[in-house]
Amino acid sequence: MSDTHDYKQIGTRPIRPDGVDKITGRANYGADYSLPGMLHGVVLRSPYAHANIKRIDLGKALALEGVYAAVSGADFPDVAAGGMGGEGGGDFKDLASNIMARDKALYHGHAVAAVAATSRELAIEALDLIEVDYEVLTPVMNLDAAMAENAPLLNDKIYTMGVNPKPEQPSNVAARMEFKRGDIDAGFADAEVIVEGEFRTPTVHQGYIEPHACLATMNQGGQATLWCSTQGHFEVRTAVSKTLDMDVCDIKVIATEIGGGFGGKTVIYQEPVAILMSKISGRPVKMVMDREEVFRASGPASATLSKIKLGAKKDGTLTAMSCWMAYEAGAFPGSSMAPGAMCIFAPYKTDNFLIEGFDVVVNKPKVAAYRAPGAPQSMYACESLMDELAYKLEMDPIDLRLKNAVEKGDQAAYGPKFNEVGLRECLIAAKEHPNYSRELTETQGRGISVGFWFNAGMQSSAEVHINENGTVMVIEGNPDIGGSRASMALMAAETLGVPYEKVRVLVGDTETAGFTNVTGGSRTTFATGMAVIQASQDIISQAKQRAAKTWEIDEDQVDWQDGHAVPMPGVNADWEPLSLAKIAAKSGRTGGPLLGRASLNARGAGPGFSVNIAEVDVDPETGKTEVVGFTAIQDAGKAIHPAYVEGQLQGGAVQGIGWALNEEYVYDDKGVMQNPGFLDYRIPVASDLPKIDTVIIEVPNKAHPYGVRGVGETPIVAPLAAVANAVRSAIGIRVGELPLSPPRLLAAMDE
């Protein structure tokens, strides 16, 4: 199955370079930085989910002794509309209005003003002195309400995009998209079996443990330095420059260690506020959200509704697939509906499909990317219905998928032709796995699901510096969230032929590292890894030049083997091989230090497929689901550091299990979230979970020198339907709405 390569270091499991600092508490996260004279900034948040802001008076707050700055929307520059790109989607103008409300508060918790004072307590006291007049409006809290005729409007300038001709009336539907191929009606006419279903998923949060935090300081020359917990400091720099109308060259961003992001730290909230208040006060300003603010004002992922229909022949061959799907975007347009729509049918060969997607604004915080943004929701719908199709056809659910699984050469539903992909391999591994056939008790059930994510390439830079003793320093620009320093070090070590222990990796700031896109899109090991490999190859070619110079032969007569320059076979020279250390030691005499570099826009990110097997036990008297077994199988292309790949698979499974069983935002009738803390927003705790078994499949991605395809996002896609299908098999009823919480399941079973 996997190409056999004789790798020396790739595929081993050394401890991560950042490990010691992280487990001993030395590592510095967003809130760990302080500067002399620093102020503490806090945000005043809207107490209403939907309101016009009539007046803000900061005067009394500013008059309080110890308060050095107070700002509201009026203090920020006007921002031109323009797309942000990336996985989050959205618009810079909206981003600016999300960071600080202008004339409307669009969700409970929306920032309306901020204060910086000598202590956090004092700053909080000052918030009470800010006067705001609101005109309270009716909140629009879900898709049904937002899409209803005569629904209250969040923004009367929103006319549904993607509808021709342009609608005459504004609405809460920001965009409509359609993807189709073939003849959907003919496809359903051709079907011998048709299944239909409606599926809903709730608003959920990424649940990173570290709250958003930053420290900003601006000098009198208008140059700002910013420390923050982020997945991408170059994108932070862009966003700050757009929202504060600053030149990127005046903004230095240092990514601190990051305590989880999962997509939620690809956007910014407090950073421009801290910089502006530093500018006003002339002092550094630190801003740290508390957990409640994280829930009320950051993240979340879209709540969705999908109406889906599948047609198939009796042998399981799919003839038609259609889906109507709506995604909540939160307060501003830009949900992950489009990627959700592009993923939903990606695993299957489909001649006839139709997808209609809607991006809908509601009075909730603006959604942010969450691991494979959009895909878990849509694929939950599709994979649940595939399960129903298997029941109807009395077919093994894996066989049904094998019958339709895409492979190399198939045209993906979202456009391109697939290269090598590992879906069939994952399905076969699932079928052969002992967990797929072990005995279950009467109250237990098993479910499977396929997961998919495109994976991204994008831009990366890397430098490789050779120290005077031949040890290696890699400088790259991706915040290390899941062990990427270790993967970079392994790839550099493998390429150069030096031991892993002799390689160090620095995540450089925006002034140290070359431009690099976010740690997101499952791109880091693939794209930045490729840059590190190329920079290492640059070192090799320079080292060969130095050896040629030393030996006084032609460069093309020097080869590189196992970390040493050697004369090419057949070259009539009996020189001893020169190690990198020897070359480095003499580099002063051969042309100066060795410094390799590469920058690229990576193409050919191999898509990632997975198959999950969930086994659950549902208590018939309480509706409580215990996950008794979970198996995550995924194509990693090539696992550079298998332990961290397994960690990604397990982490995604845990988040997906939480999404399936318990996580949801609970709102009251005024649009106020009732559970803004980990007590009542129930992410799984360790004792809720079985050991998550993993199987790494390796179908190499030919576009990467070592075969890597991204692994960070696909793991969260399949668990929702895998768990839902397992519950369906345990209780014999399909409950098409997540979470499958005890009250919901018990009510369904009692019906």
- Of 142-150, 498-506, 648-656, 684-692, the segment contacting another protein by CB under 8 A is 684-692
**212 and 30 Cβ atoms separated by less than 8 Å:** yes
Among positions 3, 556, 576, 680, the unique one binding another protein when judged by CB under 8 A: 680
Phi and psi for 590 in degrees, rounded to 5? Answer: -110, 10
Q: Which of residues 471-500 bind another protein (CB under 8 A)?
A: none
Residue 662 lies near another protein (rule: CB under 8 A): yes
Closest CA to 240 of 81, 96, 112: 96
Binding-site residue total for another protein (CB under 8 A)? 24
Neighbours of 24 (CB within 10 A): 8
Q: How far is the CB of 246 from another protein (least distance, A)?
A: 36
| For another protein, the closer CB: 188 or 665 | 665
| For another protein, the closer CB: 583 or 740 | 740
Among positions 169, 588, 674, 702, the unique one binding another protein when judged by CB under 8 A: 674
| For another protein, the closer CB: 562 or 668 | 668
The strand ranges marked E within 58-101 are 67-72
Q: How far is the CB of 291 from another protein (least distance, A)?
A: 10
Which 3 state secondary structure label does DSSP give 450?
strand
CA 423 centroid distance within chain: 22
- Of 84-92, 427-435, 671-679, 716-724, the segment contacting another protein by CB under 8 A is 671-679
CA 306 centroid distance within chain: 22
Q: How far is the CB of 364 from another protein (least distance, A)?
A: 16
**584 and 469 Cβ atoms separated by less than 8 Å:** yes
**66 and 119 Cβ atoms separated by less than 8 Å:** yes
Among positions 356, 399, 410, 688, the unique one binding another protein when judged by CB under 8 A: 688
In whole angstroms, give the CA distance from residue 649 to residue 662.
Answer: 20
In whole angstroms, give the CA distance from residue 400 to residue 654.
Answer: 26
Among positions 1, 249, 685, 733, the unique one binding another protein when judged by CB under 8 A: 685
CA atoms within 13 A on the CB side of 720: 30
Residue 689 DSSP code: -
Q: How far is the CB of 660 from another protein (least distance, A)?
A: 12
The strand ranges marked E within 139-219 are 173-181, 193-201, 213-218
Q: Which of residues 341-400 bind another protein (CB under 8 A)?
A: none
| CB contact set of 413 (below 8 Å; sequence gap of 6+) | 179, 181, 342, 344, 345, 346, 348, 350, 353, 355
Q: How far is the CB of 673 from another protein (least distance, A)?
A: 9
In whole angstroms, give the CA distance from residue 202 to residue 328.
Answer: 10
Q: How far is the CB of 741 from another protein (least distance, A)?
A: 6
| For another protein, the closer CB: 333 or 719 | 719
Phi and psi for 361 in degrees, rounded to 5? Answer: -85, 140
- Of 88-96, 220-228, 645-653, 677-685, the segment contacting another protein by CB under 8 A is 677-685
Among positions 4, 150, 441, 687, the unique one binding another protein when judged by CB under 8 A: 687
Residue 209 lies near another protein (rule: CB under 8 A): no
Closest CA to 337 of 305, 385, 295: 305
Residue 20 lies near another protein (rule: CB under 8 A): no
Q: Which tokens is 211 given?
A: 């709250």
Q: How far is the CB of 749 from another protein (least distance, A)?
A: 11
Residue 119 lies near another protein (rule: CB under 8 A): no
- Of 328-336, 381-389, 421-429, 670-678, the segment contacting another protein by CB under 8 A is 670-678
Going edge to edge, which strands form the sheet with 111-117?
Answer: 67-72, 111-117, 39-45, 285-288, 213-218, 224-228, 251-255
Q: How far is the CB of 626 from another protein (least distance, A)?
A: 8
| For another protein, the closer CB: 541 or 622 | 622
- Of 102-110, 155-163, 294-302, 739-747, the segment contacting another protein by CB under 8 A is 739-747
| For another protein, the closer CB: 647 or 742 | 742
Residue 682 lies near another protein (rule: CB under 8 A): yes
- Distance in angstroms between the alpha carbons of the first and the last residue of the chain: 48
Residue 207 lies near another protein (rule: CB under 8 A): no
- Of 110-118, 140-148, 560-568, 735-743, the segment contacting another protein by CB under 8 A is 735-743
Residue 746 lies near another protein (rule: CB under 8 A): yes
Residue 63 lies near another protein (rule: CB under 8 A): no
| For another protein, the closer CB: 367 or 745 | 745
Q: What is the 3-state secondary structure of 321-385? A: EEEEEEEEEECCCCCCHHHHHHHHCCCECCCCEEEEEEEEECCCCCCCCCCCCCHHHHHHHHHHH
Exposed, middle or buried by CB within 10 Å (0-12, 13-18, 19+), for 499? middle
Q: Which of residues 589-648 bind another protein (CB under 8 A)?
A: 621-624
| For another protein, the closer CB: 217 or 741 | 741
In whole angstroms, give the CA distance from residue 475 to residue 455.
Answer: 23
Closest CA to 600 of 516, 510, 481, 494: 516
Q: Which of residues 120-149 bind another protein (CB under 8 A)?
A: 121
Amino acid present at 35: L
Q: How far is the CB of 393 from another protein (least distance, A)?
A: 34
Token look-up 């030395």 returns 26
| For another protein, the closer CB: 662 or 714 | 662
Residue 679 lies near another protein (rule: CB under 8 A): yes
Residue 28 lies near another protein (rule: CB under 8 A): no
| For another protein, the closer CB: 292 or 396 | 292
Among positions 675, 690, 734, 748, the unique one binding another protein when judged by CB under 8 A: 675
| For another protein, the closer CB: 587 or 741 | 741
Which 3 state secondary structure label does DSSP give 413?
coil
Q: How far is the CB of 684 from another protein (least distance, A)?
A: 7
Residue 691 lies near another protein (rule: CB under 8 A): no
Among positions 15, 573, 666, 733, the unique one binding another protein when judged by CB under 8 A: 666
Residue 743 lies near another protein (rule: CB under 8 A): yes
Residue 74 lies near another protein (rule: CB under 8 A): no
| For another protein, the closer CB: 524 or 662 | 662
In whole angstroms, give the CA distance from residue 443 to residue 424.
Answer: 30
| CB contact set of 745 (below 8 Å; sequence gap of 6+) | 618, 623, 624, 625, 727, 731, 735
- Of 10-18, 135-143, 174-182, 676-684, the segment contacting another protein by CB under 8 A is 676-684
Taking phi over 0 as left and psi of -120 to 50 as alpha, with beta for the rest, 377 belongs to: alpha
Q: How far is the CB of 624 from another protein (least distance, A)?
A: 7
Is-cis flag, bond preceding 567, omega within 30? no
| For another protein, the closer CB: 348 or 630 | 630
In whole angstroms, give the CA distance from residue 626 to residue 443.
Answer: 10
| For another protein, the closer CB: 471 or 675 | 675
Residue 742 lies near another protein (rule: CB under 8 A): yes
| For another protein, the closer CB: 190 or 688 | 688
414-419: Cβ within 8 A, 24+ apart? 414/179, 414/342, 414/343, 414/346, 414/454, 415/342, 418/607, 419/604, 419/606, 419/701, 419/702, 419/703
Q: Which tokens is 496 given?
A: 């150069």
Sites of contact with another protein (CB under 8 A)? 121, 621-624, 661-662, 666, 674-675, 678-680, 682, 684-685, 687-688, 741-743, 746-747, 750
